Amino acid sequence: MPTKVMNTELALERILQLSVSGDRGATRAFIEQATMHGATSMMLATDLYWPAMQTIFRMWRQDQLSALAYQYATRILRMLVDQAQGGYEQAARNGRRLLCVCGPNESEDLAGQLCADILEANGYEVLFAGGGVANDEIMSEVGQRRPDALVVFAAAATDAPRIRMLIDSIRSIGAHPSLPIICGGGVFARAPGLAEEIGADATADDPFAVERMVRCAIATPRAVAAARPMTRARAAVA
């Protein structure tokens, strides 16, 4: 069970077994037992759900899961993330508004949702658009809603060019040129320096680190600068 006195490695292994098999009932029963043994919703998200997502996504990318097993696992993890959100201890509202978007596939949307839930629990007003939203619509929303930061979660390398175009547009067109932009997710973890190269202010490997990066970025106002020329590293992901 995933408490501080239980073996989280064994608990994670069990969650992975249950999720890829599609056993919703056994998964719920396992989480109920973990809760009875003292696991909070945040502990479950930290110690089980996020590591399980990372493992499932990695196995899918490496063709180690069938399409059926991947679908089972992502749907069960979505169920668990939805249930956990209602149990998070909510901090006092801090008056800050965040816009969160992500890549278009199921795994990115699930990771983005967990990130949005964690940010909301930490006191932010969160607008979570998910994936598949066109850059021009995101630009329009940035201009109208004036968020205090933009969070972009992406797992695939193919997402990078579109994110770069979005960031360059925000910086150059002037809808909100001083907007802090934080990137998180697999592609940025696998390519150190990529987030900075495409113009983001900070990057983080997981939703819990994203909150720290958001807090730091908002506390340090961004200087408005002219659009930068594309470097060799940025061109490589274009």
Domain 97-237 belongs in CATH node 3.40.50.280: yes
Q: What is the pLDDT of residue 77?
A: 97
- Tell me the HSE value of 218 on the side-chain side, using a 13 A CA sphere: 17
Please say if the pLDDT value at position 113 is more than 50: yes
Q: What is the pLDDT of residue 225?
A: 43
Q: Any alpha helices (H) in the chain, and if so which ranges?
A: 8-21, 24-36, 41-44, 50-61, 67-85, 106-121, 135-145, 160-173, 186-190, 194-197, 207-219, 232-237
What is the DSSP secondary structure assignment for residue 130, as one 8-state letter? E
Burial of 162 (0-12, 13-18, 19+ CB in 10 A): middle
Q: What is the pLDDT of residue 222?
A: 64
Domain ranges of the chain: 8-85, 97-237
CATH class of the domain at 8-85: mainly alpha
Please say if the pLDDT value at position 3 is more than 60: no
Render pLDDT for 30-61 as a digit per residue (tens, 0 to 9): 999 999 989 999 999 999 999 999 899 889 98
Record the pTM.
Answer: 0.84
Residue 54 CA to residue 93 CA, distance in Å, equals 30
Mean pLDDT for the chain? 85
CA angle 219/224/230 to nearest 5° reads 115
Inter-residue contact 142 to 175 (CB < 8 Å):
yes
Q: What is the pLDDT of residue 230?
A: 40
Burial per residue of 111-131, b for 16 or more beta-carbon CB atoms within 10 angstroms, e otherwise: bbbbbbbbbbbbebbbbbbbb
Render pLDDT for 64-107 as a digit per residue (tens, 0 to 9): 999 999 999 999 999 999 999 999 999 999 999 999 998 888 88
pLDDT, average across residues 162-178: 82
Local confidence band at 174 (pLDDT 50, 70, 90 cut-offs): low
What is the DSSP secondary structure assignment for residue 47, as one 8-state letter? I
